[in-house]
Structure formats: structure tokens, C-alpha cells
Amino acid sequence: MYKVTQERFIDWYFSDQDDYIHIGERVKLLMEKTGYATISVENIFWEQDELPTWILEDYDGDEDYIGADEVELIK
């Protein structure tokens, strides 16, 4: 199984301004609905269908993306 560090995943995930907007909207909706919001790195990770292979540790394949279910999130 391939691995990606939390730091590298978060750097990739938040590399686009739209991702900040998306998380902000999500937090706002959760707070309106429940009064609080909790979002973990693991939650965001498991919402991904695929990940770019360049963020993986020791990836040596030819693909540009890989299914998130083939990747382990590590600290």
C-alpha cells in the first residue's frame, strides 16, 4: 500500500484558493446546523476519490493519479 504524510496531503489539498472557500462553507453549515464543527485530516482524506501520485512516498509507477483506497495516510 502506498503512503502519504498528513503534511504533504494537506499541502496538496489546500494548494488552491477554492479549497479554503469550500472548507469555510462547510464549517459554516456545520456550525449553523449543530453549533460546532469538527473536520479532521482523515475526514478530508477519505472524501477523496483519487490522489495525485506525486504526493505519495516512494511511488514508482507511471500513473498520474491513484485511488485513495490504495493509499494510507500517515503522520
Reported as a single tens digit per residue, the pLDDT across 11-50 is: 999 998 888 898 999 999 999 999 999 989 999 999 999 9
Start-to-end CA span in the chain (Å): 15
d(CA 16, CA 50): 17
Name residue 52's beta-bridge partners: 65
Model confidence at 8, pLDDT cuts 50, 70, 90, reads very high
Distances (CA, A) of 2 to 6, 23, 66, 75: 13, 26, 9, 14
pTM: 0.83
d(CA 49, CA 46): 8
Report the pLDDT value the prediction gives residue 58, as an integer from 0 to 100: 87
If you average pLDDT over residues 45-67, what whole number do you get? 93
